[in-house]
Each structure stands twice: as structure tokens, then as C-alpha cells.
Amino acid sequence: MSGKFRAARIALALAPVIALMACDQIGRVLEKVGAPETPGPAALSSVAPEARSMGGAVLMPDEAMALIVAPEPVKFVPGEILIGAKVDDELAQAASELGMRMMSRFAPDGSPQMLDQRLEAKAIENAVEEATRDARTVLDRLKVDGAIIVNPSGVVKIDLTPANTASPIGLPRFAQAAAPEAGVEPAEAAAEPQAVVDTGQRCPRNVTTAQLDADLTLKTICTLERLQASRQFAYVEKNYVVDVGFDRLPFFSKKKDGSTTPTSTAPGTTAPSAPANPGAEIVATGALPNDPLYAFQWGLRPRGTGAGQSPGGAGFESFWTSARQVGRRAVRVAVIDTGIELAHPDMRSNANIAPGIDLVTDYDRAGDGDGIDRDPNDVGDACGAGKENSYHGTHVAGTVGAAVTNDKRGVAGGAWNVTIVPIRAIGRCGGELEDIVNAIRWAAGVAPAVTEGGEQIVNANPADIINMSLSVQIPCPASMQSAIDAAVARGAVIVVAAGNKSNAVANYAPANCRNVITVAANDARGGLAFYSNFGPGIDVLAPGGDVFADSDGDGRPDGVLSTRTTTKDCYDPETRQAAQTCHYGFLQGTSMAAPHVAAALALLQSQYGVRGRELESLLLTRALGPIDANQQCAIECARNANATPIPGSPGRCMRQCGRGMLDLARAAPPGAAPVTPAGGR
């Protein structure tokens, strides 16, 4: 008996040691399989009000919903025409002279084909010189004065505005305007940028020089038709106005309780310099971000109906925790938009943000007192008195990764550790096609930008991924397609928003351009959002939100929450009281869906070490979940006149909504280590 008692006493004494060893062993096993360390978001009570207050109320439908999907007139800038030099013809001629076969920007299989950059530069120079001479000949025949302005990217612009026609070389319109007065908000200082509705007007057969001189719009149309008829150019087109698709609701927004809140414009800020040298890489631990508002970011959750999931989620959380991948700083995402609020409290200390550029040339549209410069700060895009600035680019960039993640402040980004290159190409009342085309080329490192003082600005961080959350209801402009093709040939993947008019995506650029990934918007319930464009051209369905719904009953709209300074409907979720200003807000739109896809591409590139066509293929084959069209893409016909009736289902209509729904969980191998490709890219 004494021996048995002795053995029992020894076992009892060793029990704590055995337990500790077992716990340690279990911990090592969990670490190997990538089990997440789950402290989760910081408690709201533990952070300052400015780090948690957010803007946005659940809106009532009816009139506001109708305004969102109502058609908008297409506008262009009178007096301006974009013409394309025949660069490919020059390349073919150069190849022939060198005894080479015809060169193309794409190989027969559709993959990028790199050209000799010196040969390409010379071909662009020769083509531009020829296009300039031909344009001058046409203007002389028409007896029209016009300045010919050449961009470094090879796009040639004819400016017919009276202020610029005295010189045969010409200066852009921004050189003729004055800076805003001191103490006056830029959005209020300048007149609305000049633009006219495109009515499809044609040039009269017997138009006179006097008639052209008296009507700038007519002069533009007649000159454009003569230039097209000459067949001397790759393309000839109007300088269209493109919008970011921000739903500018009426001056008073109606809440669920029927009260109203006046819309006001967020105060302007002085932008600090963006960090020139990125900081240390963020190490993925498998933990969830501690940003206090992460709980409201349903689009980043795993897709599903269980606890901690969302039917509309895109699976980012699974990628962070299972693959232990939050991105690499070497991956570069350019955001072509309204710029970003560089002084935003969740951005001003972010080493992810690389030096960007402001490419808005027109002073009235820029609102910052100058044209092209190195400052991508968003000074506002409001159009008309009493309208709200969207700070659209800040919201979009925050979703990608410009918001500092895991800092116990505000929101999380999709890719915590990625280089964001902010490009301001949208200003007051929209952006101009010329500026957006130049932005695409600059983003991919195809061509530098030139300031009005003659300084060349080269992009030191050519983009792997380009996000364009913007739209205009026109066929894909040839100038835009040419820029997209050139960027893709450099290895960039271009993500674009489908548009928010509940209509066929084939009618909207750049979503209808080739060589882009077109993204439609799903709501928090997983269905195609009521406003989203649709059709065979959609590639991916991703979180875009619905500010008219509150499917989880948290009292906040089912929009996408991201960085955006506003004073509208500000709310402190901890005290449940109104706040005076907030730096985070809910928006809805395919504009919000596209950056989810851009962030997903950044994570996939970081994990698998591929880019360009391989990266695009990886997204479309590995990171998309199935769509139940009858459940997710159908709608009551009364809510969408553009949808197709479903045979045998009275009152129900179908909208094609993509190859699949973004779901990063499918592309996240458990416990996988990140890949470092050769060359560090």
C-alpha cells in the first residue's frame, strides 16, 4: 500500500509540470497550423472619440434611391480635342527598317510583350511630330485658330479656347487662371469648371468661320469632325468629364426617424509631405487587427452566416489569419481618384503612402491654385454651393491599405502592408479624360508628368495594381484604351468600378474597356446591390454596400466603412451620442467594391510572388466563390427596368453579376509562408 501511495503522491506532484508541458506542446502545434492570436478589435471605450466616431445614417429609400440610379448627362470640355499619334505605325516602320517582324504591345497569347524602350520613345517622338503637323494642316484648312499641346505620354491636345489660340505652341488652360483669394475655401473661390452636355450635335454642312468664332461648342464639334475625316490620327475624341460616382444626395438627408441633418463640407487641411522612405515591414502574426471600428467592416469578414461572418464578406480575415499574410511593401497600388487627405489622423503617419502627384490641370477644377504638382492632397470635389465634398479617394485608398491598420484607431485596410501611390486626377465636379489618361500612364511608369514650370515628375514607384473607381456613360475612349494597354504591357493589373446606374456595364467606361478587371457591388446580404451596373462584362462581385439597409440591426447603414472626414451624421458608437466631426464614414458603390479587389490582388501578389496576367488569373481562378444567380443576382422587375425578366417567375428579373464573388479564404493555404520572388518584387 505504501508503494501505491508513494506513486500517487509523485504523480500529483508532477501534474502541474505535465500540464505545462502539454500546454506548451499544444501551443507549438497551434502555431504550426497558423491558429490566429485573437485579441480582436480594441474596446471602443479604450480609444479616443476621434479614433472611433463615424458618419452615416440609414437612409430611407424612395426619392433618394431614384436619384442614385437616374441617368446623368454626359459632358465634355468645349474647346478641347484629344488626338492620338499613330505610334504603332511608327513602331512597325522602325521594325521593318531594322529587319524585324511587326512588333505589338501584346504577344499572340495576349500576354504583355516588352518593347525596347529607346525604340518606343523614338517612335512616340516621331509619331507626335507627325500628328502635330497634320493637326496644324487641318486647322489651317478650316481657318480655325488653335493651340497644339503635347503631353509627355504622346497624347496631343488641340485647345481652341480664345485665351490659348494666339500661340502655335500654346499653354494649357491652367496657365490662364488666377489662384484663389487668401482665406477663401478653394471650392467656393472658383467658378464651376466649364463643361457642356453632349447632345450628339453634328456640324452644319455650310458652317461659316463667323459662326465657329461665336460658338465654342460648335467650333469644337466641327473641328473634331474635320480631324476625324482626315484619317491622319489613331483617334480623335472630345475631352469628356468623368465622375467618381459618389452619390451626392440632396442637401438634407432623411434618416429613419424622419429627422434631417444639414450637409456641410469637411474643413480643408494642409497636407504634410508623404513619407519618402517606407518604414519596417509589418509582420503577420495571425491576429485580427485591433482597430476599434473593425467590427463594422463586414466586407472584410469571412463569407457565411455564422458568428463573426457576413453573407457579403470577402474573406480577408481568413487570409490574414490562415495564410498569415498582410501584404508586402514592395507591392504597389496606385489609386487614381480625388487624391487623399494626407493629414487624415489614420493616414498622416502611414509609411505605406508613397509620394504621389496631382494631375488636375484646369485651375477651376483643381481648386488648389495651380495645375500639375507633387501634392496629391484632396482639397475637395464638391460641385456647386452647399454640396458636400466626397473625399472619395481617401475612402477608396483607406480600403486598400492607406489607413494604418492594427494601430487601435479607426478602421483596418484590406492590405496592411502595401505601398499606396495616390494620384489626384478628379477635382471639382469630376475629372477630365485627358488628366485620367495621363494618370494611367504615369501610374504605370509609362511616361512622366510635366508641371507648368517645365519640371518633369517621374513615378519612382510604378504600380503593380491600378485602382480606378470612376465612370462615364460612353464607349471606351480610344485614348483611355491606349493608356490601359500601355500600362498592362508594363505588367500592371487594372481594377475598375462597374458603375452605379443599375444599367448595362457595356455602356460605361472604363468598365467597358479591354484589359481591365471590372467589379460590381454586393451588399452585406451577399446580393448584387440595387444600384450596381451588371452584364456579361462583370468579372468580380465584391463588397460595395447599401446605405439604405441595416441587415444586422446595429443601427448603422450597411455601407462600406472607411477613412473620410465629414461633419454629416457623425456618431460616437460608444456613447451613442452625436459627434461634431468624424474621420470615418459609410459610403456605397462599385467605387467601394473595386478597392476590395485591388487589396485582394495586393495580398495575392505578396503571397504567391506573381504579377501582371498571372496575378489576374490567380484572382479569377483561386479567389472567387460561386454565385447563386437566382438568389444573389435576381431583383423585382419594378426596381430595375434594365434587368431581364426571368421566364416562369412573374415580376422577377435577372442581372448578370460576374464570374464569381470575391472570397480570399479560398486562396489562403493554411499556415503558408509568404513567397519572396527573385529581385524583391
Q: Where are the beta strands (DSSP E) in 352-492?
A: 357-358, 419-424, 426-427, 430-432, 449-450, 456-457, 465-468
- What is the chain's alpha carbon radius of gyration, rounded to the nearest angstrom? 27
| Dihedral sign for Cα atoms in the order 162, 166, 169, 173 | negative
DSSP state, 379? Answer: -
Give the closest residue to 233 by CA, choosing from 117, 147, 154: 154
Q: Tell me which of 337, 370, 407, 435 is the catalytic residue.
A: 337
For 252, the grid coordinates are 438634407
Spatial separation of the C-alpha atoms in residues 516 and 262, rounded to whole Å: 39
Rounded CA separation 564/262 (Å): 17
Nearest to 245 by CA among 494, 466, 519: 519
Any idea how long the chain is? 681
The answer to whether residues 457 and 357 touch, using CB atoms and an 8 Å cutoff, is: yes
CA distance 201 to 72: 18
Q: What is the 3-state secondary structure (H, E, C) of 36-90?
A: CCCCCCCCHHHCCHHHCCEECCCECCCHHHHHHHCCCCCEEEEEEEEEECCHHHH
The answer to whether residues 67 and 248 touch, using CB atoms and an 8 Å cutoff, is: no
Active-site entry in 368, 370, 375, 392 = 392
CA quadruple 661, 663, 664, 667: dihedral, nearest 10: -90
Interacting residues of 573 by C-beta distance below 8 A, sequence separation 6+: 44, 52, 53, 54, 293, 296, 556
Residue 138 and residue 160 in contact, taking contact as beta carbons nearer than 8 Å? no
Residue 596 annotated among the catalytic residues of the structure: no
Task: Give the phi and the psi of residue 336 in degrees, each rounded to 5.
Answer: -90, 110
**Is 551 among the catalytic positions?**
no
Which residues belong to the active site?
Answer: 337, 392, 591
